[in-house]
């Protein structure tokens, strides 16, 4: 069954704060094989003008995926999670995610389209500090494969 376009424009309430730690950043950097000192060494990061170690450009997915799940598991949307494929991803960093940040994210459904039996859902997650400073805008396009696709 196609997704209901009436959900376009729907927003989900802000998440619980996510505490960004040096350890989680290092763990993520290790997992992607990234060697930049700015991910691991606070002094090196400070020498580049950052307040503490910063996160790799795709780290925001750890924060945004949690809130995307509130969309995917919204019972009213009736989205079949087992058919979801990640179509595209974009991060706009207003500033780098930095160790010590307390981040909250708010998710919006920007678009729902259908093509050749598949539904495409564009989800935008606005990540900011608990103080309201914008940090990252993460956009994901999720493809919900149709029964026959």
Residues near other proteins, by CB under 8 A: 24, 27-28, 30-36, 38-39, 48-50, 54, 56-58, 61-62, 65-66, 85-93, 95-96, 139, 141
Q: Which is nearer to other proteins, 10 or 87 (CB)?
A: 87
Distance separating alpha carbons of residues 3 and 31, to the nearest angstrom: 35
Q: Which is nearer to other proteins, 76 or 82 (CB)?
A: 82
Q: Which is nearer to other proteins, 5 or 37 (CB)?
A: 37
Least distance to other proteins, CB of residue 62, Å: 6
Q: Which is nearer to other proteins, 4 or 92 (CB)?
A: 92
Tell me the CA distances in angstroms from 73 to 65, 78, 104, one per residue in order. Answer: 12, 8, 19
Least distance to other proteins, CB of residue 23, Å: 11
Whether the CB-CB separation of 138 and 91 falls below 8 Å is answered with: yes
Least distance to other proteins, CB of residue 96, Å: 4
DSSP 3: P
Least distance to other proteins, CB of residue 80, Å: 13
Q: Which is nearer to other proteins, 8 or 62 (CB)?
A: 62
Which of 56, 58, 62, 147 is CA-nearest to residue 103?
A: 62
- List, as one string, the DSSP characters of 13-77: PPPPPEE--HHHHHHHHHHTT---GGGT-HHHHHHTT-SS-B--TTTHHHHHHHHHHHHHT-TTT
Least distance to other proteins, CB of residue 12, Å: 19
């Amino acid at each position: 069954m196609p997704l209901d376009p009436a959900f376009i424009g729907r927003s989900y309430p802000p998440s619980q704060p996510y505490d960004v730690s040096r350890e989680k950043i290092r763990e993520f950097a290790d997992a992607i094989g990234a060697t930049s000192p700015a991910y691991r060494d606070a002094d090196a990061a400070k020498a580049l003008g950052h307040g503490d170690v910063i996160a790799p450009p795709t780290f925001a997915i750890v924060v945004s995926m949690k809130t995307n799940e509130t969309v995917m598991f919204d019972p009213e949307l009736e989205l079949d999670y087992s058919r979801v494929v990640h179509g595209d991803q974009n991060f706009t960093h207003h500033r780098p995610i930095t160790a010590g940040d307390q981040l909250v994210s708010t998710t919006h459904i920007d678009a729902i389209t259908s093509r050749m039996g598949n539904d495409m859902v564009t989800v935008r997650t606005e990540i900011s500090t608990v103080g309201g400073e914008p940090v990252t805008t993460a956009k994901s396009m999720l493809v919900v494969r149709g029964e026959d696709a």
